[in-house]
A and B are shown apart, each in its own frame.
Chain A
Amino acid sequence: MPIMNFTKFTNFINSNLKNNQKNQKNHKKLNKKIPEYTLKFFAMFSSSIIFAIVIFLIYNSVPLVTELNIFDFLLGGQWTPSKELYGILPMIVGTILTSFLSLLIAVPLGVGCAIFLSEIIPNNISKIFRSCIEILATIPSVVYGFIGMILLIPLIRDIFGGTGFSALSGGIILSIMILPTIVSLSEDALRNVPSALKDGSLALGATRFQTLKNITLPSALSGIISSIILGLGRAVGETMAVIMVVGNWALIPNSPLEPVRTLTSHIVLNIKETATGGVIYHIMFATGLVLLIVVMALNLIAKYVNSKYNLNN
């Protein structure tokens, strides 16, 4: 009998222990899962923002399809809301013109500066220099616009005549604004070229410039190109500095010295005058959508170029 009791007792203890272990295991599992799921929720919420924005823009531009022809909208050369002409081609031309003018200035200057930083001056001076360029990137875009209005506009007016508010002014201000992007990313690309390649070239008797021209630059080319595309993306999306210097005429310009209006300034100039639900209201969202598609495409291309041809990957 006592033996029976004893086995009963041990059974009871064992089952209790097992239960306990089971409970503990469940408890542990739960403890493990709670943080993970909480974090997952936050991650999913963060990523949902961009989808919300895209869906919102599409939802608000769709009513346009019934109200006007998409080709009239994208390729119409006239923005005259009073006559129901809603073409945004002048703004597209204005954006392209200012952005490419800015690249024309910023690319040679920026890439030259990146070479200067990575190849010519010693590292400790280069570090200080780099901080200066980072400061250039932190200057607010309204301050750029203000400087453009105060310094650049009178300068352009004195040299070329006219009002000074022009695509050229926009291009110059934008070029300064995208310099930090181009310089720092190009410098990274140049520094990422394996030193074995450069040393090999130098050991074969090439000069530093020949090494740069034939070895370093071609190897860093993909990084430099992607920095230029990213700079272009920034130029297309820049708003405040541009609106302050380009004059904002909704006409297709004949020369870079004429005022233009960019897609971004078009949105700023029109949105406050729109009642919710009107045609212009929807057009502003469609314009935002065009902007978003262009900038995102540029960013993706830059990323693709960088990853596809990067030596380090």
Chain B
Amino acid sequence: MSKYLSHSKKRKIEEKIAFSIFYLCGLTVLGILFFMIWHIVSNGIGVISFSFIASIYNAIVGTLSLVSLSIVFAVPFGVLSAIYLYEYAKDSKLSQIVRFSSDCLAGLPSIVFGIFGYAIALKTIGPSLLVGGVILSFMILPIIIKATEEGLKSVPSDIRDGSLALGASKWQTIRQIVVPSAMPQIITGVILAMGRSAEETAAVMFTAATIYASGFGLLNRVETLSFNLYITATEYSTQQELASAYGIAVVLLGLMITLFIISNLVKRKFAKYNSNI
């Protein structure tokens, strides 16, 4: 009996030790996150002022224009491809190829997009907002395809059948019933994609970014927040330049976290909608 008790005690101690290690792991990860954000924000928030925003105005505009351009290119292709995949092609050869290639595209290192875009740019119009936007749209295409497909998957087939039974054609059903129901997830995907293209540096630095943008236009190079941060962080010589790097990091971080929160709000709203069905 006593032997059995000691065994159970041993088991309990073992469990306690193991679980406290897991606790430690969890808290370490959380600690790293909070420490990094705290460090950036505490050092950078003081820099943010009206004149600072004015000094990085070009970079903000450049980043936003790259993001919008990439979204404009990627959304139609991503959404329509996903609709084809899920509503028409189901499990055909073509859909397998499209899915496989979208997976590959998603896993491709961003610098590979960078050299691809650089070579294309050299052979055509040179590094510019347009080339950068196109390359970024390639990068975010898989995110949008995946999100749209998830959205379509979540639409119950009863709704489709109901619409078809009332005499609507397949295309009408998709356009007026299925896609609107999948909209929240598509929007979430688009917001994630926006974040992805806003933070991207490697693919942008050879295709679109410059330290000093001379003019604004589709065929011009642009400043971007991420590239500015990279240059300032690697080449700063004064304390003031370091401070401005912190400032840019805060702006970039703020942008990413805002996008994250918006996408979560959309997701939550969608969850509510889903429970009503």
Footprint of B on A, CB under 8 Å? 28, 31-32, 35-36, 38-40, 42-51, 53, 56-57, 60, 108-113, 115-117, 119-121, 129, 131-136, 138-143, 145-147, 149-151, 176, 179, 183, 207-210, 212-213, 233, 236-240, 244, 264, 267-268, 271-272, 276, 284-285, 288, 291-292, 295-296, 298-299, 303
Contact (Cβ within 8 A) A138 B102: no
Nearest-Cβ distance from residue B141 to partner chain A, whole angstroms? 6
Nearest-Cβ distance from residue B187 to partner chain A, whole angstroms? 17
Nearest-Cβ distance from residue A213 to partner chain B, whole angstroms? 8
* B105 within 8 Å of A (CB atoms): yes
Cross-chain pairs A/B with CB under 8 angstroms, 7 sampled: A116-B25, A150-B39, A207-B14, A237-B109, A296-B108, A298-B107, A303-B103
Nearest-Cβ distance from residue B275 to partner chain A, whole angstroms? 16
**Cα distance, A134 to B28, chains bound together (Å):** 15
Contact (Cβ within 8 A) B201 A207: no
Q: Cβ of B120: which chain A residues have Cβ within 8 Å of it?
A: 56
**Cα distance, A51 to B26, chains bound together (Å):** 41
Quick one: CB contact mask for B81-92 with A, threshold 8 Å, 1 for yes? Answer: 101110111000
Nearest-Cβ distance from residue A238 to partner chain B, whole angstroms? 7
Contact (Cβ within 8 A) A42 B202: no
Quick one: CB contact mask for B64-99 with A, threshold 8 Å, 1 for yes? Answer: 000000000000111011011101110000110110
Nearest-Cβ distance from residue A142 to partner chain B, whole angstroms? 5
**Cα distance, A49 to B77, chains bound together (Å):** 11
Nearest 4 CB-CB pairings of A with B? A237-B109, A112-B25, A140-B199, A116-B26
Contact (Cβ within 8 A) B202 A239: yes
Nearest-Cβ distance from residue B263 to partner chain A, whole angstroms? 10
Select which of B23, B98, B195 is within 8 A of A46 by beta carbon.
Answer: B98
Select which of B29, B89, B141, B249 is within 8 A of A146 by beta carbon.
Answer: B249
Contact (Cβ within 8 A) A239 B195: no
Residue in B88, B113, B116, B145 whose Cβ sees the most chain A Cβ within 10 Å: B116
**Cα distance, A43 to B77, chains bound together (Å):** 7
Q: Cβ of A183: which chain B residues have Cβ within 8 Å of it?
A: 29
**Cα distance, A131 to B174, chains bound together (Å):** 32
* B52 within 8 Å of A (CB atoms): no
Contact (Cβ within 8 A) A47 B260: no
Q: Cβ of A35: which chain B residues have Cβ within 8 Å of it?
A: 170-171, 174
Contact (Cβ within 8 A) B233 A244: yes
* B177 within 8 Å of A (CB atoms): no
**Cα distance, A50 to B205, chains bound together (Å):** 21
Given contacts A32-B169, A133-B33, contact A272 B202 (CB under 8 A): no
Q: Cβ of B87: which chain A residues have Cβ within 8 Å of it?
A: 39
* B111 within 8 Å of A (CB atoms): yes
Given contacts A43-B84, A53-B116, A295-B107, contact A116 B206 (CB under 8 A): no
Contact (Cβ within 8 A) B116 A151: no
Quick one: CB contact mask for B25-45 with A, threshold 8 Å, 1 for yes? Answer: 110111011001101100000
Chain B residue nearest to A35 (CB atoms) is B171
Select which of A139, A208, A237 is within 8 A of B111 by beta carbon.
Answer: A237
**Cα distance, A295 to B103, chains bound together (Å):** 12
Q: Cβ of A285: which chain B residues have Cβ within 8 Å of it?
A: 115, 119
Instruction: Say what secondary structure dominates the interface of chain A.
Output: helix
| Interface size of B in residues (CB-CB distance below 8 Å) | 86
Nearest-Cβ distance from residue A28 to partner chain B, whole angstroms? 8
Contact (Cβ within 8 A) B84 A264: no
Chain A residue nearest to B205 (CB atoms) is A268
Q: Cβ of A112: which chain B residues have Cβ within 8 Å of it?
A: 21-22, 24-26
Contact (Cβ within 8 A) A53 B112: yes
Contact (Cβ within 8 A) B101 A51: yes
Select which of B105, B174, B233 is within 8 A of A50 by beta carbon.
Answer: B105
Q: Cβ of B202: which chain A residues have Cβ within 8 Å of it?
A: 141, 239-240, 264, 268
Chain A residue nearest to B80 (CB atoms) is A42
Select which of B19, B109, B170, B259 is within 8 A of A120 by beta carbon.
Answer: B19
Q: Cβ of B260: which chain A residues have Cβ within 8 Å of it?
A: 134-135, 138
Chain B residue nearest to A40 (CB atoms) is B84
Nearest-Cβ distance from residue A61 to partner chain B, whole angstroms? 11
**Cα distance, A8 to B116, chains bound together (Å):** 71
**Cα distance, A256 to B234, chains bound together (Å):** 22
Q: Cβ of A292: which chain B residues have Cβ within 8 Å of it?
A: 108-109, 112
Nearest-Cβ distance from residue B194 to partner chain A, whole angstroms? 11
Q: Cβ of A299: which chain B residues have Cβ within 8 Å of it?
A: 103-104, 107
Given contacts A39-B81, A240-B230, contact A143 B249 (CB under 8 A): yes
Chain A residue nearest to B259 (CB atoms) is A138
Given contacts A43-B85, A46-B77, contact A138 B199 (CB under 8 A): yes
Q: Cβ of A28: which chain B residues have Cβ within 8 Å of it?
A: 169
**Cα distance, A210 to B118, chains bound together (Å):** 54
Nearest-Cβ distance from residue A106 to partner chain B, whole angstroms? 10
Q: Cβ of B83: which chain A residues have Cβ within 8 Å of it?
A: 39
Nearest-Cβ distance from residue A89 to partner chain B, whole angstroms? 19
Which one of B54-62, B153-161, B250-258 is at the interface?
Answer: B250-258
Chain A residue nearest to B79 (CB atoms) is A42
Q: Cβ of A237: which chain B residues have Cβ within 8 Å of it?
A: 107-112
Q: Cβ of A212: which chain B residues have Cβ within 8 Å of it?
A: 18
**Cα distance, A115 to B24, chains bound together (Å):** 11
